[in-house]
Amino acid sequence: MRRSRKVKILATLGPASSEPEMIRKLVDAGVDVFRINMSHADHDLMRTLVGRIRAIEDDTGRPIGILADLQGPKLRVGKFANGKEELIVGQTFTLDDDPTPGNADRVQLPHPEILTSVRPGDRLLIDDGKLQLQAVSTDGKKIVTTVVAGTRISDKKGVSLPDTDLPVGALTEKDRADLDAAVNAGVDWLALSFIQRPEDIAEARKLARGRALLMSKIEKPQAVQRLKEIIELSDALMVARGDLGVEMPIEAVPGIQKQITRAARRAGKPVVVATQMLESMITAPVPTRAEVSDVSIAVFEGADAIMLSAESAAGQYPVEAVAMMNRIAERVEQDPTYPSIINAQRLQPEATGPDAISLAAREIAETLKLSAIVTYTASGNTGLRAARERPQVPIIALSPIVETARRLSLLWGTHCVVSPDATDLDDMVERACLIAKTEGFSAPGERIIIMAGVPLRTPGATNMLRIAYIPE
């Protein structure tokens, strides 16, 4: 199960990919981490999927990460007497708190926090931006708007508010229940939807209590504006380009994607690029040329993972989509320009001992053309620092804690192995050499470099490098 690429593949499970045989095919095709979308999965289904993934994990002997994606607040208009209405650009349209079915002049907006927060001039985007309204006046009970673009509105369509900072947290009651069920089921990552501010992460952190790591989805302008603070409080980021492209000018999304990926790399936090990467493969066996280029750009940027959504969850060709993404990533990483682009994006290390050790390990490994960097890590921090350097040689992360290995399966260039902790320095070297050889990274006579902390089993004490020969 050794991958011949460094970027990881994150795939969403759904109606097309929930059976054990299909999940196994997806793993064989290249999936490293699975996403369970809690917008569509109830707790029983989520637990079933976790159990199926863990059974495949046991069968393959490889740690597989699981991400539970929380729905977040879903803001929707009410219902219409006729189910839908045709509007005219320039007309007045009102959103109010009246539950009476709507018509061509008004509809209920059953979210008092929006009615009290929107200010004149703010935009309201309905149905993924297909209908654009602009607030003219508000009084806390209704918002009078002008139709700017689009002409159709219908029952329960979603509302996006790119200009409005809502005074509500990112977690709903459903999210809190889903979070508790997911961490009790043993998921490794929790994705937080519609983050607006750093404080949105604090509640999830308190509820998770260290049982899962937190991935903040950047999909709102407010999150982009406070990106640095959000990164500091997050364990990973996702460039959620779907809603980001609705709430911000779509032409700005590629630049924002680069800003987020580079800021996350600077902080040593994993970053996932998501949404519509191979969208046409929902119904076609091959992607468009533009989609291939889109995936390749994320790989060239050094993203930790690239994600499939409906392509693997509900598409007609889930295995083919994963296999295609795998082939694109492999080809990009073999391109002669790839190392120079990755090297050009490197940043100076933080002024800490472990970061200096990680920099030294990469430079030694590349200078001496060693076959692998082997890290001993209980918390995962040593693996994170090694991956931040984006070395040209593979990273083997050894951990005695299976949860750590599963979490690191999202990490760029990192091959995770669950292994008992070393008893002493000699055992550490022997174990690292044996695993590097048996996992197919090193041959007898080649050399590896080992990163660890002394004394052993001391969290956060990465302070040692050791070059070792692979024995016969």
Catalytic one among 8, 52, 106, 217?
Answer: 217
Q: In this predicted structure, what is the pLDDT of residue 437?
A: 96
State the maximum Cα–Cα separation within the chain, in Å, rounded to a whole number: 81
In the residue annotation, 106 being an active-site residue is answered as no
What are 246-298's pLDDT values in tens digits?
989 999 999 999 999 999 998 999 999 999 999 999 999 999 999 999 999 99
Q: In this predicted structure, what is the pLDDT of residue 6?
A: 97
Q: What is the rounded distance in angstroms from the CA atom of residue 221 to the CA atom of residue 218?
A: 8
Q: In this predicted structure, what is the pLDDT of residue 241?
A: 95
Q: In this predicted structure, what is the pLDDT of residue 423?
A: 87
Catalytic one among 5, 6, 35, 388?
Answer: 35
- Please give the structure tokens belonging to residue 316: 């007609």
Q: In this predicted structure, what is the pLDDT of residue 345?
A: 84
Q: In this predicted structure, what is the pLDDT of residue 454?
A: 77
Catalytic one among 164, 261, 275, 414?
Answer: 275
Candidates 402, 384, 71; CA nearest to 243 is: 71
Please provide residue 102's backbone torsions phi and psi, each rounded to the nearest 5 degrees: -80, 170
In the residue annotation, 211 being an active-site residue is answered as no
Does residue 73 carry a pLDDT above 70? Answer: yes
Sheet with 414-418, edge to edge strand ranges: 414-418, 395-399, 372-376, 447-453, 462-469
* Residue 351: how many other CB atoms lie within 10 Å: 7
Percent of the chain with pLDDT over 70: 99
Give the residue-averaged pLDDT of 230-252.
Answer: 94
- Please give the structure tokens belonging to residue 433: 């050499």
Give the residue-averaged pLDDT of 40-44.
Answer: 97
Residues 6+ apart with CB under 8 A from 108: 77, 78, 79, 95, 96, 97, 98, 99, 100, 102
Q: In this predicted structure, what is the pLDDT of residue 204?
A: 94
* Residue 96: how many other CB atoms lie within 10 Å: 19
For residue 307, how many C-alpha atoms fall within 13 Å in the half-sphere facing its CB? Answer: 29
Q: What is the rounded distance in angstroms from the CA atom of residue 9 to the CA atom of residue 20?
A: 19
Cis amide leading into 455 (omega within 30): yes
Q: What is the rounded distance in angstroms from the CA atom of residue 429 to the CA atom of residue 435?
A: 10
Catalytic one among 3, 47, 54, 76?
Answer: 76
pLDDT band at 459 (very low <50, low <70, confident <90, very high): low
Give the lowest-confidence range in 80-89, 226-235, 264-273, 419-428.
419-428
pLDDT band at 457 (very low <50, low <70, confident <90, very high): low
Give the lowest-confidence range in 180-194, 420-434, 450-464.
450-464
Give the lowest-confidence range in 56-70, 250-264, 454-468.
454-468
Q: In this predicted structure, what is the pLDDT of residue 253?
A: 96
**CATH numbers and ranges of domains, the chain:** 8-72+170-343 (3.20.20.60), 84-160 (2.40.33.10), 353-469 (3.40.1380.20)
In the residue annotation, 156 being an active-site residue is answered as no
Give the residue-averaged pLDDT of 430-449.
Answer: 96
pLDDT band at 421 (very low <50, low <70, confident <90, very high): confident
Give the lowest-confidence range in 10-14, 108-112, 352-356.
352-356
In the residue annotation, 275 being an active-site residue is answered as yes
Does residue 224 carry a pLDDT above 90? Answer: yes
Pairing relationship of beta strands 92-96 and 462-469 according to DSSP bridges: unpaired
Q: 322-348 in b/e burial notation, b at 16+ Cβ within 10 A?
A: bbbbbebbbebbeeeebeeebeebeee
Residues 6+ apart with CB under 8 A from 276: 241, 242, 291, 294, 309
What are 392-401's pLDDT values in tens digits?
999 999 999 9
Please provide residue 361's backbone torsions phi and psi, each rounded to the nearest 5 degrees: -60, -45
What are 139-196's pLDDT values in tens digits?
999 999 999 999 999 999 999 999 998 887 889 999 999 999 999 999 999 999 999 9
Q: In this predicted structure, what is the pLDDT of residue 460?
A: 63
Chain mean pLDDT for the chain: 94
Helices (H), 109-152: 112-117
